Each structure stands twice: as structure tokens, then as C-alpha cells.
Structure 1
Amino acid sequence: MAFWFLFLLLLGLATYLMVQHSVAQITRTPVWLLWLVLMTPAFILTGWTAIYGVKQPPPPGLFMWSLFVCILLYSILFKWGRRSPRDTQNPPQAQASESALTMQPTPEPTTRPIEPREETQLRNCFPWSVYYVQNIEYRPQAVICRGQLRTKASNAYQQIKTNIEAQFGDRFLLIFQEGFNGKPFFVLVPNTQAAKQTNTPRRDQEQLTRPRLALLLLVVTLLTTTLVGVQIAGVSLPPTREMGSFLKVLFSPNVLLKGLPYALGLMSILGTHELGHYLTAKFYNIRSTLPYFIPIPLFLGTFGAFIQMRSPIPNRKALFDISIAGPLAGFVITLPLLIWGLAHSDVVSLTEKTQVFDFDALNPKYSILLALLSKLALGSQLTAKSALDLHPVAVAGFLGLVVTALNLMPVGQLDGGHIVHAMFGQRTAIVIGQIARVLLLLLSLIREELLLWAIILLFMPLIDEPALNDVTELDNGRDIWGLLAMALLVIIVLPLPQAIANFLQI
């Protein structure tokens, strides 16, 4: 049992460092409390293993519902203690949306981002032939300029941005948004990171990316996924109470090699997904962390990976490219791994009680894309009464499809939410997100395994953080790629129609 406590210690340390680094400056809720909430599912799994051993896995509902409750509680605690923009040193562009600004108190604040004598300079930054300013509103952390747009949005933003920089230097970030009334408006917010960006020592870059933490999480996650891969490969382990025999068998080279195909496959998919985001962000000169993996000793071996962007996104084009790069990069790796894994999987008899995550007897018709790929890989071996005993690489590929689908859901701050925001704008993206949540909830009535994810999406905010230029629309090429991404989501999530199944004879 000491083995699992070692994993729990490493996971707890990594989780504490991530919480402290990511949210300590933007919420008053104690870091130790947020850490405790995030670690509760791991504590439950470790306790179950200590009592029943690894041969008796915990009920899926125990883990899934504890995870759901903890995510919900974490969100509540985080928002309960969230600091106001003036209390944090992060750029307040997230608070610059129309809804957030209208919730600020309307009385004239005692301090303003610009002096009264500077208002004339500000107005001169808006030529009447580009954007005719009709009203200027002062808020504690923003100056809102409303008026009439008289030229192309992209030209207007670039010219006014140049004028603002000429008059005020790097004091402000300029945000261009479309209001709920359909009229675009400009917002100036103080650029609190200007000094940090001008003094850019190597130490600051290392503090941002935290390469040692990223490497530690990578190594620990490789180990946890390898251990899960050992079990997926069907290796029987001694009970954990016989610690000597357990460790001897577990860490023998032959046993570890059987777990590596799953581990390397899954981590390649997750890592490539996050590298897609990271490299595209670097292309647009957006400061971001390295990919951080989240290890757990049971379940899938990992909760996935993530990066954090620490500077604003310049426009909807950049928002689209960064958002779609992750799912597409992950899918490019997933596809060949899944096809190879399916070709090396065994065909077994279909039972009446198959489940989506039953890797020993998976019904490929749960997904249109999975069914098509299974037929391509197995040919005539796959019939209407067949299920799949997945090879460990196929398990990793199947989970890659699941990760791709979940990230492409067009809701809030998921990749799909960013994509529809970039394609259609903030207002339409909110409507699409609400429709997607309702449709997934209805689909969960047919496929119970989607219920937990549908509930999580119901609590996820629909409003996405805007880009600096959030008005200029995308080109036709990016719109087509966005529609293809949504089509990919559909063929992964929806079950195979019976008409197509009859045609393919599966």
C-alpha cells in the first residue's frame, strides 16, 4: 500500500503547486481548501484500494459522481472568493464584456484610468471617418467608447490601436467588441503587465513555463498510465498487501513493457493535443505555460493535460487557430493509432449489457466514426453480432476520440466554444452553447454514460473571454475548417444509424 501512498503524495504536491500557481492570485479562497477539494476523488480511490485491493476496482459511479461533486464545489468556492479586477494584477480583459461592464456601479468613480485633461487626446484617436465616438463612459478599470463604425472592422481596430499607442504608449490594452445590441464598441483597460513584458529576463520565462514542474508531471503520468496499461493488458497482479511480491511483479521489465503501448499511445495523443495549442500560441506571440499532465494512480492513469495562456488573444483569427489546433493535432495522432489498435484487437460476441467503456467487449456502433474505422480495420471479421476486445493501443485511440469529442463541444471555454465564438461572434456562440447543452442532455437519456458530462456542461459558463479585436470576422477557409470540426464532433458522438449498419453489414 506504500506504493499508492507514494503516488498520492506526488499527485498532491503537483496539484498544490498548480493551484497555487494558477488561481492563488485571483481568488481569496484558501489554496489548501481548493487543493483538498481537487484531491478528494484521489483520496477516495486510494482509500478503496487500501481496503479492497487493486483486484476489485471501485464502482464507476463512485468515482464519476465524486469527481462531479468536487468539480462543482471547486467552481463554487473559486467564484465565491474571486477577486475584483482592481485586486488582481492580471489584465482585466476578461471583465470587459458587455454583460460584465453593465454590472459595474454606475456612479462616477473617484479614480479613472485617464485624467480629465486626457479626454481630448482620447477623442482624437478616433477619426470620424473610421469610428465616430458618441459617448465615453468611465469605469474603475475601463474606458468604454461607444459610437458608429464607418469602415471595415479590421482597418478600424488597427488604425485606432496605432493612435492609442502613439498617444498613451503601452498604458492600455484596446478591446474591440460587439455589444448585445449588435453595435461594436471600444474598451481601454490598463495594461498592468506592460512593465513585466518590457523587462523580460530569462528567469521570468522559466517562471512562466515551469519546465521542472512540467517534466515531473510528465514522468509521473507516464508511470501512472503504464500501471493502468498493465491492467488493461490483462496482467494479474498480486494483492497490494503482499507488497514485496506486488512490487516485484509490477516493476519487472516484461510487465512494464506490456503497459507501455497504452501509456505511450494515450500520452502521445494528449501531449500532441496540448502542443497544438502551445505552438500556435507561440506563433501568435501569446505567453503560455508548457503542457501540464495530471496523473492519477487509477482509472485511466491521467485526467488529461492543459496549458494556460497568460496574455490576451489579439483577434478572432488567432482565437480560432489556437482553439482548433489542439483537437486537430490530437486527432491526427489518434487516427493511425486507433486503426492499428483495432486491426490488432480481437472480435468477440456481442452481449446485451455492453457499455461504452467496456474495453473487453465494446460495441463499435456506439460511434459512427468508431464503427467505420472498425470495419475498415477488421473487414468481414466484424458482423452485426460482434463486439471488440480492444488492444491497449486501441484503448488509447478510443480515449483519444472521446477527448477530441469532449473538447469540441461548442460550450463556453472548451475548444469547441472558442471555435464557434471565433466563427459567429460572442452572442451567437452563447445561443449555440445553450442548444448544445440541451441536445447533449437529451442524448444522455439514450446513452447514460453521457449524463455526467451533460450535467457538467450545464454548470459551465457560456460566456467566453473575448479577443482584443472581437469584431473582425473570419475568412471563408477558417469557417469551412470550423464546420468540419463540428462535423467530426457529430460523427464521434452519435451512434451508427441502423441504415448504415445494414449497408456495412455490422
Structure 2
Amino acid sequence: MTDENQPRPPSDQIIVVQPDDYQTEVKDYSTRQPAYHSPPSPPRSKMPLILFILTCLSTLIVGGIKGPFLPLPGQLQLLFYQINAMGWSTFLSNGFSYAGPVMLILLSHEMGHYLQSRRYHIPATRPLFIPMPMSPFGTMGAVILQRGGVANRKQMFDIAVSGPLAGLVFAIPFAYWGLLNSTVETVIPESGAVSFGEPLILKWMITLVHGPLAENQEIAMNSMLFAGWVGIFITALNLIPIGQLDGGHILYTLIGKRANTIAYLILLSAIGYMSYTGEFSYSLLILLLIFFGVAHPPTADDTVKLGPMRTIIGWSTLAFFIIGFTVTPITIH
């Protein structure tokens, strides 16, 4: 029974009756805070996916017709006639056997960077592919953008070195597989003929598969071999130890601010070489390096130690530049 005359507790209080001693405890919920709800995350941009699809299409066309293509309205009809002349089955076979391997190489390279960034919680974009059907490669590669000054020395090293190593896991086997299915041709230089330079690692593989070649002999470039060549070439370019390239990141984490002096010396040497020889294949790259900065900025903490294993991996990765780079990548006779 209850006494209606007994005063009632406020509505925002609860009386808890203890069964053992019948003492009461008053819990006040009048100051209870509302539940916290995190703000919704902004929608992800669809641009990385769009660029990926366009780059797949670009490399498919360039690989299919075995040459660059100008994406202009007047050129589309010519492209259609060219594909009809060679046959759609030949076009698709050439296209997929090039586009598939080269996109896998680029994707693995950038995902190496991206996954390490996620591992260390470093803000970074998803891989941004660059379609370029006007080039003989069909692409200018891919990049990820990350916020500077967040990663420390060891984190920066892991992010930088993972890309080239992941890409080479596929680039070297593709090049070797392409060589196994290639033929040796006797070359008669013709006006307008295009040939591709052979880095040391490719020369070693050619000797291993086909033996020493005569002076007037070279390997007929099939789609798979060309994809491997592009992967090796792009990886070597990224390992140039300057600025924001992978090689610039790696060298800075290995030797600190002394890397900036080396970067300037390499850049000046490259400009001097191009001026002396008249070989300007890398002019655009030089301009981009100057525009984005030759010196490498400090990491969030340059005092973090790399350890002996990372040091060995770092110098070994940079050494690939020597065997993967070619001074004259494309020659038009």
C-alpha cells in the first residue's frame, strides 16, 4: 500500500530500495548528456575510379594498335578503320596482353605506397592513374598524394620503398615471360622505325634467354615484354634520388639532409648531359622535378632509427636505378 500524502520524488530522480537494509539511494539523471554521434564522413571522390577506367582504356588502345593515339573526334574514325583492318580479335589480344600486365604493375606499385600509409595512419589519397594515349605507353603512371610532415623517418622509408618493390615483383617476371615468347630479328634501320633502349637488367635477361646477340640483331618487342619494359622503366625513373620521387624519399631517410646536396648534383649533371649530347628525352621530367622541388623536406621526426635491415633494403632498392635506367629510352631512326 502507498500513502498518497507522502511527498513524491522529482520525475528526474529514481529511488532504489536496497532489499537488505532498506536504505535508499537517489541517483540524479537530470544532468545526463545526450549520446554522442560522430559526424558522417564525407563521400569519397569517384575521380580515382574514373581515372583508373580511363587509363585501362588508354593502355588497351595503345597496346592494341601498338602505338600512340590522339583522342580527337577526327581520329576516332581512323582508329575504328585501323582496328577493322587488323581485326578485332588481334586488337583485343594485343591490347589485353599489354594493358593487363602494365596496369597490374602500376596498381601494385601504388598500392604498396597506399597500404603502408594506411598501416601508419598517414592521410593519403587512393591511387590516381594518369591516362596518356598520346604516349607510346598509354599512361604516365600513377601517384598517391599524402599530407607532408606527418610520417616520421621510418614510416616515410616504409611507404617509399614498398612501391618500387611491389611493382618489380610483377615487372621482372612479365619481362622475362615476354622474352621467353619473343624472337630475334635482324635489324635493317628504316626511316621512322622506333626502337626502345635496353637497361642492364633486360640485357642480362636477353643473354640468359637468347644468348649474346649480334650487332645487327635485336629482340622483337611483344606486348608482354613491352609491359615488363614499361614497368622496369617507370620504376627506375621513380628511384631517381631527387625531391618527392621514391628515390628521393629513400635517400633522405638513409642519409638525412645530405641527400639534398646529392639531388642538386644529379639534377645539374642531367642538365649538363642533355645540353652536351642534345638528348632531351627527360626534359619534361627535369621541369617537373624543379617545379615540385629538388630538396626533400624534413620528416615529422628525423631522429627515428631505421635499423640495419631497412638500411640494406634501402640501398639495394636504390641500386636498381643503375640496372633499370636507360639513358635513351626511345630512338626514332
Q: TM-score, normalised on structure 1?
A: 0.51
Report the CA distance between 1:473 and its aligned residue: 3.5
Distance in structure 2 (CA, Å) of the matches to 1:259 and 1:451: 27
The within-5 A match list for 1:24-43 is none
Question: AA paired with 2:59?
Answer: T
Structure 1: any 5+ residue segments left out of the alignment? Answer: 1-197, 496-506
Instruction: Give the aligned partner of residue 406 of structure 1.
Output: 237
Instruction: Give the aligned partner of residue 303 of structure 1.
Output: 140
Distance in structure 1 (CA, Å) of the matches to 2:187 and 2:78: 37
Deviates more, 1:274-283 or 1:310-319: 310-319
Is the contact made by 1:233 and 1:259 (CA closer than 8 Å) also made in structure 2?
no
Report the CA distance between 1:423 and its aligned residue: 1.0
The within-5 A match list for 1:384-463 is 384-425=215-256, 427-444=257-274, 445=276, 448=279, 450-452=281-283, 453-454=285-286, 456-463=288-295
> Secondary structure, in 3 states, of the residue corresponding to 1:334?
helix
Distance in structure 2 (CA, Å) of the matches to 1:354 and 1:369: 28
Instruction: Give the aligned partner of residue 299 of structure 2.
Output: 467
For residues 200 and 344 of structure 1, do their structure 2 counterparts lie closer, same or farther at Cα, with a shift above 3 Å needed?
Answer: farther
The within-5 A match list for 1:35-434 is 203-204=41-42, 206-207=43-44, 210=45, 212-232=46-66, 240-241=76-77, 245=81, 252-299=88-135, 300-310=137-147, 312-350=149-187, 358=194, 361-362=195-196, 364=198, 367-379=199-211, 382-425=213-256, 427-434=257-264
For residues 243 and 272 of structure 1, do their structure 2 counterparts lie closer, same or farther at Cα, with a shift above 3 Å needed?
Answer: closer
Report the CA distance between 1:263 and its aligned residue: 0.6
Report the CA distance between 1:466 and its aligned residue: 2.4
> Secondary structure, in 3 states, of the residue corresponding to 1:302?
strand
Q: Deviations over 1:390-434 (max 9, x none)?
A: 111111111111111111011111111111111111x21111111
Report the CA distance between 1:227 and its aligned residue: 0.5
> Secondary structure, in 3 states, of the residue corresponding to 2:234?
helix
Is the contact made by 1:340 and 1:377 (CA closer than 8 Å) also made in structure 2?
no
Distance in structure 2 (CA, Å) of the matches to 1:334 and 1:274: 14
Matched, 1:481 2:313: yes
Distance in structure 1 (CA, Å) of the matches to 2:86 and 2:38: 46
> Secondary structure, in 3 states, of the residue corresponding to 1:423?
helix
Instruction: Give the aligned partner of residue 7 of structure 2.
Output: none
Distance in structure 1 (CA, Å) of the matches to 2:191 and 2:163: 31
Q: TM-score, normalised on structure 2?
A: 0.74
Q: Deviations over 1:252-300 (max 9, x none)?
A: 4552232111111111111111000001111111121111211133322
Distance in structure 2 (CA, Å) of the matches to 1:455 and 1:279: 30
Distance in structure 1 (CA, Å) of the matches to 2:238 and 2:316: 14
For residues 407 and 248 of structure 1, do their structure 2 counterparts lie closer, same or farther at Cα, with a shift above 3 Å needed?
Answer: same
For residues 457 and 253 of structure 1, do their structure 2 counterparts lie closer, same or farther at Cα, with a shift above 3 Å needed?
Answer: same
Distance in structure 2 (CA, Å) of the matches to 1:313 and 1:294: 26
Greater share of helix residues, 1 or 2?
1
For residues 262 and 369 of structure 1, do their structure 2 counterparts lie closer, same or farther at Cα, with a shift above 3 Å needed?
Answer: same
Structure 2: any 5+ residue segments left out of the alignment? Answer: 1-35, 69-74, 328-333
Distance in structure 2 (CA, Å) of the matches to 1:354 and 1:322: 45
Report the CA distance between 1:451 and its aligned residue: 4.2
Distance in structure 2 (CA, Å) of the matches to 1:349 and 1:420: 42
Quick one: percent identity of the two aligned structures? 31
Distance in structure 1 (CA, Å) of the matches to 2:133 and 2:204: 33
Q: Bigger radius of gyration, 1 or 2?
A: 2
Question: AA paired with 2:129?
Answer: F
Is the contact made by 2:83 and 2:91 (CA closer than 8 Å) also made in structure 1?
no
For residues 408 and 254 of structure 1, do their structure 2 counterparts lie closer, same or farther at Cα, with a shift above 3 Å needed?
Answer: same
For residues 242 and 485 of structure 1, do their structure 2 counterparts lie closer, same or farther at Cα, with a shift above 3 Å needed?
Answer: closer
How many positions carry a matched residue from both structures?
285
Over the aligned positions, Cα root-mean-square deviation in angstroms equals 3.3
Is the contact made by 1:266 and 1:399 (CA closer than 8 Å) also made in structure 2?
yes
Instruction: Give the aligned partner of residue 27 of structure 1.
Output: none
For residues 213 and 406 of structure 1, do their structure 2 counterparts lie closer, same or farther at Cα, with a shift above 3 Å needed?
Answer: same
For residues 375 and 478 of structure 1, do their structure 2 counterparts lie closer, same or farther at Cα, with a shift above 3 Å needed?
Answer: same
Distance in structure 2 (CA, Å) of the matches to 1:223 and 1:269: 16
Report the CA distance between 1:348 and its aligned residue: 1.8
Report the CA distance between 1:479 and its aligned residue: 1.4
> Secondary structure, in 3 states, of the residue corresponding to 1:464?
coil
Instruction: Give the aligned partner of residue 59 of structure 1.
Output: none
Report the CA distance between 1:460 and its aligned residue: 4.7
Is the contact made by 1:405 and 1:493 (CA closer than 8 Å) also made in structure 2?
yes
Distance in structure 1 (CA, Å) of the matches to 2:225 and 2:142: 20
RCO comparison, higher one (Cα < 8 Å, 6+): 2
Is the contact made by 2:185 and 2:218 (CA closer than 8 Å) also made in structure 1?
yes
> Secondary structure, in 3 states, of the residue corresponding to 2:218?
strand
For residues 446 and 243 of structure 1, do their structure 2 counterparts lie closer, same or farther at Cα, with a shift above 3 Å needed?
Answer: closer
